[in-house]
């Protein structure tokens, strides 16, 4: 899954503490939150999320 920062548009990196982090904006979110959102999306749409944008603590699914 592609995870990008909504603020600057960069690809977010996975840290050793299982979080996605934007090195420029310092925006971060726990990987578990994205996995929970993906599980709900998969139940409804029968496929995984391909791309998300992170805006603060909000997960935006990009279609």
10-55 pLDDT per residue, tens: 999 999 999 999 999 999 999 999 999 999 999 999 999 999 999 9
Query: CA-CA distance, 53 to 55, in Å (whole number)?
Result: 7
What residues does each domain of the chain span?
2-61
Q: What is the pLDDT of residue 19?
A: 96
Q: Which residue has the tokens 């791309």?
A: 51
Q: What are phi and psi of 41, to 5 degrees?
A: -65, -45
- Which pTM was predicted? 0.85
């Amino acid at each position: 899954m592609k995870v990008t920062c909504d603020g600057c548009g960069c690809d977010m990196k996975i840290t050793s503490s299982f979080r996605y982090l934007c090195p420029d904006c310092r925006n971060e979110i726990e990987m578990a939150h994205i996995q929970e959102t993906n599980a709900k999306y998969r139940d409804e749409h029968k496929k995984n999320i391909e791309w998300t944008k992170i805006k603060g603590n909000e997960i935006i699914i990009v279609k």
